[in-house]
Amino acid sequence: MRFTDFASSLIGLWLLLASPLQALELEDQKLYPGTSATVVKVISTGDLAVFEPFILQFQAENPTIGIDYHVTSSAELHSAIQDGGVFDVAVSSAMDLQFQLANDGAAQAYASAVTEALPVWARWRNQVFAFTAEPAVAVISRERFADLERPKTRQELIALLRQNPEAFENTIGTYDVRSSGLGYLFATQEARNSDTFWRLSELMGTRGTELYCCSNQMIDDVASGRLTLAYNVLGSYAAERIARDDRLEILEMEDYATVMLRTALIPATATETQGAALFLDALLREGLRDAPTVWALPPLGAADTPEARAYGPIRLGPALLVYLDKLNRDAFLRAWSDAMVQQ
Amino acid sequence: MSDTANVPFWWRSIGQRLTILLAGIAAVLAILSWWMVTSFAREAAERTQDNVLVASATTIAEALRSEQGTILLELPYSAFAMLDAIGEDRVFYRVSADGETLTGYDDLLPPGTPERPGDVSVRTIDYRGDQVRTVTVRRTVLAGQQPVPVLVTVAQTRTGVEAIGSGLSQTAAILSVALFILAVGLGAFAAGNALKPLNSFAQAVTRRGPSDLRPLRRKVPDELSPLLIALNRLMERLGQSIRRSEEFIAEAAHRVRTPLATVRAQAELALHTVEKDEEKKMLRRIIRAVDESSRSASQLLDHATVSFRADALAKDHVDLAELAAKVTDGLAPTADMKDITLILDAIGPAAVRGDAILLESALRNVLDNSVKYSPAETEINVTLDRLDKANWRLIIRDQGRGFSADSLPELTARFKRGTNVDQIVGSGLGLTIAEEVLDAHGGRLELSNPETGAGACVSLILPAA
């Protein structure tokens, strides 16, 4: 989930159709050969470590199909598909960019019994399908939080930050929304839903906040005790770490939770559409489970907690285009930088 | 009518015609209403989309501002969120200042540009392989001292509108079919109901007896009253013409009978005066012929009488036993001439209601027939008994040749005689008269050949009083 030069790639969107195919910047790639020549090319923002068990399970059920799994950032994925790169399935945590791909006509429609079983809010035009519902959470260090009361709402968190400057001085972490697509999505949605976001951001800026590209690094630093609090961490990653590391804890916020949907689509350029359909159905079946089995990613039902229900999961719809607009992005980043980066 | 053969079977009845016509009208109306609802629904959905698009574009236009000579815009979240309302449609937009794209899809060129600020242009164009509805609004923003025209275009595909349209169209189609079926049912009911007076009129005419020529007195709808009047006039004329011919026959028979009686009396006298056997034989033949003629004339008269009196039948008390005795006595001399013995077995009283003259004529004709067809030195039995609770029966049984089996059913027709009459002279009216009388009284005449012995058997069956 690294956003390298998001702004320029977004400007590039308007020129992409004319530009030649750029080399794809991959973080990881692995081929899982099947017993036949069929290979489904998957491009994804999900780490291999997370997706491997799922791919192996899929191949156990469909041994003939080979999977060529590419890991890249959501911006790279977006521009690769937009440029007409040939992939059979695109899986991304950046639902706004996925939505834009479908809106601009880069996705093809697919319907099956499984897609019909999805809740209405988890699909758009039979082109974009959600298979996880992952909240943004605040993760705290047990050790550094030993003497502090656990805040239950954003208001209480603000009060806590105000009253204990020394405890949080330079030990708060959050996404650098300028480089992280997911961080930007969480921040814009929260800013839209609640006016506490800007007060919290200003306060975090005042206390001195470390900015991160990725959830895992934040979790690492909270675990090691370098950070007291990491705000807007991907809940699924945090939960998975907490299961094997008791130095961490998730702050149970009762006022609201921003819930992101991880989505998959079949690009218009897909060639192995049958294999892609099987892979997509398998993904969605994981999303329809009551509890995760093959991986730590929470299924769609996870969006049904009281705090998540406050605003519901981020809506798959044209409103996602609003914060992708370059004028809006510039304005938002300007305001965010003013609040957060006060050096 | 000769052209009924060319008419298809479903067009032959007024009820079917009405039903088919009403069904046709209902079908036309159902299709019309479906088409209207469908086009209204589509229109409404399209207008709704237009309004939402205008609202969206206007919201964006209103968010335009300028700072230090630069035009700034922060797209309002609601401007795009509202576009979700119609359905899952692709959304495109472009904001341009003075022809330069400020933000959005560079290649989305508004087909028509509004001339004045505040104007809105709404068009449908093809964009990125889809039909899109575009709305462009114009606003002037002051950038520094310079007024800059800004165009805000918002476009949306029409999948949602189509879906709403076709959904409503389907519902309308189902409703139209239901309405059509209902209308056909009601039409059939209405046609049946409208034709009920005609049917009951037809039944009333059909139910009438063959000689019932009284005028029909019933309430009919205005459309049928000319038919009723015409029918009554026809029956009246028919009745008159029948009466006239009966009167003529009666008159003719009467006129013939009187001179015949004179001829017979003269022939009798002559018989006594001539000596030669040959002359006697000739005279006897004359007398017999005269007898036959006068008998036929009497029967014609009887028949006319029956026709007259049956129209307004008297309801007197008549004792069948008495009647049988009287008729038997009357015919005894004729029977004697052929050495035929009439044996009467009738113990009264056997009361019936009716016209004594007619009943007497019926019995006389039957008995006369028996005498005529019986060979000499035989017996004729006249027996009265109770057939069942409601009816009396008078059986006249002779030892003659009986009825020929093949002509039995037709014998009571006028002037119809059996196939085994040989040389015997007769008019063929006797049994006709008897049957007409019995019919008029609600009784019946039964002809049979008894299983044992020779002869004919005629039963007169009359309802008991």
**The pairing of beta strand B379-386 with beta strand B391-397:** antiparallel
- The answer to whether the CB atoms of A322 and B106 lie below 8 A apart is no
Residues A124 and A263 in one domain: yes
Within a domain: A147: yes
Closest to A192 (Cβ–Cβ): which among B74, B77, B102? B77
- Tell me how many domains chain A contains: 2
How confident is the model over A272-292, as pLDDT tens digits?
999 999 999 999 999 999 888
State whether B84 and A325 contact (CB < 8 Å): no
Name chain B contacts of A84, Cβ cutoff 8 Å.
Answer: none
Q: Does A210 share its domain with A265? A: no
Q: Do A322 and B73 touch (CB under 8 A)?
A: no
Q: Do A318 and B106 touch (CB under 8 A)?
A: no
Structure tokens at B235: 């029956």
Banded model confidence at residue B59, pLDDT cuts 50, 70, 90: very high
Within-domain flag for A54? yes
In a shared domain, residues A221 and A253: yes
Chain B residues near residue A103 by CB distance under 8 angstroms: 90-92
**Domain with A34 in it: what CATH number?**
3.40.190.10
A168 and A243 together in one domain: yes
Q: Are residues A30 and A58 in the same domain?
A: yes
How far does the CA of residue A320 sit from the closest CA of chain B (Å)? Answer: 8
Whether residue A30 is contained in a domain is answered as yes
Model pLDDT, residue B457: 87
Tokens 């520094």 locate to B144
| Chain B residues within 8 A of A106 when measuring between CB atoms | none
Q: What is the pLDDT of residues B221-242, one digit of tens each?
A: 888 889 889 989 998 998 888 8
For residues A183 and A155, state if they share a domain: yes
Same domain, A335 and A205: yes
Residues of chain A in contact with residue B130, where contact means CB-CB under 8 angstroms, are: 105
Q: Which among A14, A125, A327 has the least Cβ separation from residue B73?
A: A327
Tens digit of pLDDT for each residue in B377-426?
888 999 988 888 888 998 998 888 777 777 776 777 766 776 666 666 66
Distance from CA of A127 to the nearest CA of B (A): 10
The whole-angstrom distance between B58's CA and the closest CA on chain A is 15
Report which of residues B223 and A307 the model is more confident about.
B223
Domain residue limits at A332: 134-258+327-340
Residues 119 to 138 of B: which have CB under 8 A from any A CB? 128-130
Q: What mean pLDDT comes out for the span A312-334?
A: 91
Assigned domain for A74 exists: yes
What is the spatial distance between Cα A228 and Cα A248, in angstroms, rounded to a whole number? 10
User: B9 touching A, CB under 8 A?
Assistant: no
- Shared domain check, A198 and A264: no
Confidence of residue A54 (pLDDT cuts 50, 70, 90): very high
| Maximum Cα–Cα distance across chain A | 64
| Statement to judge: residues A334 and A207 lie in one domain | yes
Q: What is the DSSP letter of B104?
A: E
Q: Is A156 contained in some domain?
A: yes
Give how far Cα A64 sits from Cα of A39, A40, A286, Å: 9, 11, 21
Of A124, A125, A318, the CB nearest to B80: A318
DSSP states of A105-153: T-EE----HHHHHS-GGGEETTTEEEEEEEEEEEEEETTTTTTSPPP-S
CA–CA separation, A2 and A233 (whole Å): 14
Considering the domain architecture, whether residues A127 and A145 belong to the same structural domain is answered as no
Average pLDDT over residues A161-180: 90
> Do B314 and B355 contact (CB within 8 A), yes or no?
yes
Please indicate, yes or no, if residue A322 is contained in any of the structural domains.
no
Amino acid identity for residue B125 in this structure: I
Best mutation target among A10, A15, A328 (most B Cβ atoms within 10 Å) is A328
> Quick one: average pLDDT of A44-53?
91
Statement to judge: residues A200 and A165 lie in one domain: yes
Query: Are A103 and A23 in a shared domain?
Result: yes
Which amino acid is present at B292?
Answer: E
ipTM, 2 decimals?
0.83
